[in-house]
Amino acid sequence: MKNKITLIDGAMGTEIRARGCEVPSHHSSIWSAKALMDNPDVVKEIHKDYILAGADIIVTNNYAVTHNLLKRENLEHKLSDLTSLSIDIAKSAKEESGRDIRIAASLPPLDTSYRPDLVGDIKSIREKYREIVNIVKNQVDLIIIETMSSSLEATGALAACEDLDKEVWLGYTLQGVRMNTLPSGEYLMDAIDKIKHFNIAAYLINCSSANITTEGIKLLSNEVDLPFGGYANPVNVTDIKENEGEDDNVEYLQELHQQDINANQYCDVVAEWINDGATIVGSCCGTSPEHIKKIYNLINA
């Protein structure tokens, strides 16, 4: 499998917390981005640890650096400075590691993750993402639009990237307890059909339970003709529901019905994705460089 699989890094926010730094709730704060101001050296060490564990791509720590979230702390004026700082930290980690990896900028949800009701109108979404794109476009190797909870949110992010001369990857989240269903209530393939006219280099599923991600990847393997993959949370949902419609409570429902899996078990899940044709893999919230090292060993066996 060597040289056929691209390995993305793992969690940042939960790993910052695991290293003893304050990471407040993402529901009401700028959470992981707070570390850019308070603990930049910790962010750099985490990036470097993921690189040394074998990651081919690291994602800048700008997940919570958006106009909507910074406004919570009256820091909207810091959007450019903090975004640029996240890139500088990632570049420094790359240089210190001595490995030739790629750096991706994140286009995250503009407001609280998994909340399609907070997405806003298409004009506002596009303009706010465009502001971030203009900061990062000449500083990174690619852009990963991640954790999109609806096709509307994804459309705004993709529209902001339309004239870029670099790869743009799109990640939908299946956070919750419904199979192949976004928090918006949209079926995964319906959400992809609505945005497939954009110039997308790869499809991803991220920040969902491992077993629901597995089902999503099986669907992608049969339905898309572009590279695809996933990076999930190290949990399995134990009670999968069939309810329909938009749901702004998916995170709570997943927490209520999830069971933790360890790094070895997570790696076994990733092996399933690869067997189903995934060529981009990694890990998300709650994971660590240990998970990435085990996946690296798997794909380089």
233, 286 Cβ separation under 8 angstroms: yes
Residue 170 lies in a domain: yes
Residue 1 lies in a domain: no
Counts of helices then strands in the chain (DSSP H, E): 12, 10
Position of tokens 């669907």?
A: 219
Determine how many CB atoms are found less than 10 A away from the CB of residue 34. 20
Determine how many CB atoms are found less than 10 A away from the CB of residue 91. 17
Residue 99 has pLDDT above 50, yes or no: yes
Residue 271 has pLDDT above 50, yes or no: yes
Residue 255 lies in a domain: yes
Length of the chain: 301
Residue 62 lies in a domain: yes
This model's pTM is above 0.85: yes
CA angle, 181 as apex, 178 and 183 as ends, to 5°?
90
d(CA 199, CA 170): 10
Mean pLDDT calculated for residue range 224-229 = 97
Task: Give residue 90's pLDDT band: very low, low, confident or very high (50, 70, 90).
Answer: very high
Mean pLDDT calculated for residue range 96-108 = 98
Q: Is residue 36 classed exposed, middle or buried when 0-12, 13-18 and 19+ CB atoms within 10 A define those classes?
A: buried
pLDDT in tens, 66-82: 999 999 999 999 999 99
Query: For the chain, what is the domain count?
Result: 1
Domain enclosing residue 51, as ranges: 6-299
Residue 16 has pLDDT above 70, yes or no: yes
- CATH code of the domain covering residue 78: 3.20.20.330
Q: Collapsing DSSP states into helix, strand and coil, what is residue 201?
A: coil
Rg (CA), the chain: 17
Residue 83 has pLDDT above 80, yes or no: yes
According to the model, what pLDDT value does residue 1 have? 44
